[in-house]
């Protein structure tokens, strides 16, 4: 790791923090692009090709790959990772760093500069917690204040200012958000957990932790209301749960309500009783009440319709519709003259 770009980066980040952090990443990248010289030198620097743990160099082993762990961002070669961490978590082998690392967290770095790598990771983490949008705020001013606050949190984490406090507040905020999102399912959890008990051993332990924490979080949020949410933002609207989706109605709200008859549950006429007992009808999931409703609907379908009146009514006022006489006449002419297949 070369020192030159690091210092330059630190300077740029400080300057950006003073700016208020508007579009920091782009500025950071921009400042990087200005430092072509030192970066080129750092590429040529042979120390970047030597594993700081086992001191083997890429010159001897061209297939060597470097890995980093987002815990401390110390770089080491793949074989070192395999060697040290294959038996479970172990402390970082770099002198002065005693963090416990796990093998599965190691990954290839995306950016050459590990500072950038770390910043991007932190931004990802903060963004995943801070998901409010402009619509969630009362005024644009509030939204901008919120954005600034988010940027402050980000830079606190990046510059390692009040990390502990900020982290715990972030976590509380995340939990608060989660609780707000699914209040209903979290209430159901205690019931479903005991049933899991006898079958799952490890799973239960693992699952119990978040549920317990969420339960306690629920309590705190219920008791202190909005006191313990980690952060408070001015002008943030209270989240309104989206309206519950109505069950699907294939008839689109329409229903058949008979006007002239009341359908009875049973009719004692002989053929109705035969239908009820006929196995041929029973097998096909056929409901004899459908027969009753259909016959009665047909018996009174058009009971109150007077064709002459309705046709005269639809012919006179609305010339636009063209139903009835007009259409029939036009269709008739067309039919005889044109629409003839033969």
Partner 1 sequence: MKLTEDDLYRNSTQFRNWSFTSQQLAAQRLTTNIQATERVKANVARQRAHRAQHVESDSISSGVENGSGANTPNAVASDREVDCLTVDEELKIVDDFCERAIKLGEHCRFPFEVTATCIQYLRRFYLYNSPMTYHVHNISRTVMFLATKVEVHNLKVDEFAAFFTSASVTTESILAPEYMVMQGLRYNLDVRHPFRGLAGGRMEMLECAGGRYEGPGSGDDIQAQMLQLPKKKNGPAANWTVENMENRINNASFFASKTLKEAALLTDAYFLYTPSHIWLAAHLLADEPLTLFYIGLKIPTSSPIYDKLLSTIHSCAKLISSHRLYINATLPKEEKTAREANHQAEIKRLIGKLKMCRDPDKIDLVKLNQAQKRDAMQGDGGLEQGKAKRRKLERESYEKEADAFWGPELPKNG
Contact flag: residue 298 with partner 1 (CB under 8 A) = yes
Contact flag: residue 305 with partner 1 (CB under 8 A) = yes
Cα distance between the two ends of the chain: 90
Contact flag: residue 258 with partner 1 (CB under 8 A) = yes
| Binding map of partner 1 across residues 54-73, x = CB under 8 A, - = no contact | --------------------
In the numeric block, the tokens 């033969």 are attached to 342
| Binding segment toward partner 1, per CB under 8 A, in 38-46, 106-114, 217-225, 289-297 | 289-297
| Binding segment toward partner 1, per CB under 8 A, in 33-41, 73-81, 211-219, 309-317 | 309-317
Q: What is the DSSP string of 83-94?
A: HHHTTS-EE--S
Contact flag: residue 286 with partner 1 (CB under 8 A) = no
- Residue 327 token pair: 């259409």
Q: Give the one residue of 36, 86, 223, 259 binding partner 1; rule: CB under 8 A.
A: 259
Instruction: Report residue 307 CA to chain centroid gap.
Output: 58
Indicate the residue among 96 and 253 with the shorter CB distance to partner 1: 253
- CA 50/CA 147 separation, integer angstroms: 41
- 194 class by beta-carbon count within 10 Å (0-12 exposed, 13-18 middle, 19+ buried): exposed
- CA 107/CA 121 separation, integer angstroms: 12
Q: Give the one residue of 73, 231, 261, 275 binding partner 1; rule: CB under 8 A.
A: 261
Contact flag: residue 159 with partner 1 (CB under 8 A) = no
Contact flag: residue 303 with partner 1 (CB under 8 A) = yes
Contact flag: residue 290 with partner 1 (CB under 8 A) = no
Contact flag: residue 313 with partner 1 (CB under 8 A) = no
Element (H, E) at 101: strand 100-101
- Residue 191 token pair: 């019931």
Indicate the residue among 214 and 293 with the shorter CB distance to partner 1: 293
Indicate the residue among 19 and 326 with the shorter CB distance to partner 1: 326
- 62 class by beta-carbon count within 10 Å (0-12 exposed, 13-18 middle, 19+ buried): exposed
In the numeric block, the tokens 């770009």 are attached to 5
Residues near partner 1 (CB under 8 A) are 253-262, 264, 267-269, 272, 292, 294-308, 310-312, 323, 325, 328-329, 331-333, 335-337, 339-342
């Amino acid at each position: 790791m070369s020192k030159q770009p690091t210092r330059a980066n630190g300077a740029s980040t400080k300057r950006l923090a003073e700016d208020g952090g508007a579009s920091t990443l782009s500025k950071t990248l921009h400042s990087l692009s200005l430092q072509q010289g030192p970066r080129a030198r750092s590429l040529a620097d042979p120390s970047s090709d030597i594993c700081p743990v086992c001191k083997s160099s890429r010159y001897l082993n061209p297939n060597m790959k470097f890995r980093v762990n987002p815990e401390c961002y110390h770089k080491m070669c793949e074989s070192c990772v395999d060697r040290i961490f294959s038996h479970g978590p172990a402390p970082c082998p770099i002198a002065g760093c005693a963090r416990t690392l796990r093998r599965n967290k190691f990954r290839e770095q995306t950016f050459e500069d590990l500072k950038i790598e770390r910043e991007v990771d932190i931004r990802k983490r903060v963004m995943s917690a801070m998901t409010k949008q402009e619509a969630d705020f009362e005024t644009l001013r509030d939204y901008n204040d919120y954005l600034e606050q988010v940027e402050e949190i980000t830079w606190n984490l990046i510059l390692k200012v009040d990390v502990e406090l900020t982290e715990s507040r972030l976590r509380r905020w995340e939990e608060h958000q989660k609780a707000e999102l699914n209040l209903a399912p979290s209430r159901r959890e205690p019931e479903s957990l005991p049933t899991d008990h006898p079958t799952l051993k490890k799973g239960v332990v693992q699952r119990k932790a978040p549920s317990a924490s969420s339960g306690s979080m629920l309590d705190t949020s219920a008791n202190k209301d909005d006191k313990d949410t980690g952060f408070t933002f001015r002008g943030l609207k209270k989240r309104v749960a989206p309206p519950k989706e109505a069950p699907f109605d294939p008839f689109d709200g329409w229903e058949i309500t008979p006007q002239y008859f009341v359908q009875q549950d049973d009719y004692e006429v002989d053929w109705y009783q035969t239908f009820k007992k006929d196995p041929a009808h029973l097998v096909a999931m056929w409901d004899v009440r459908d027969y009753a409703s259909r016959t009665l609907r047909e018996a009174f379908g058009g009971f109150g319709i007077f064709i002459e009146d309705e046709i005269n009514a639809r012919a006179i006022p609305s010339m636009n519709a063209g139903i009835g006489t007009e259409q029939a006449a036009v269709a008739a002419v067309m039919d005889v003259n044109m629409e003839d297949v033969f």
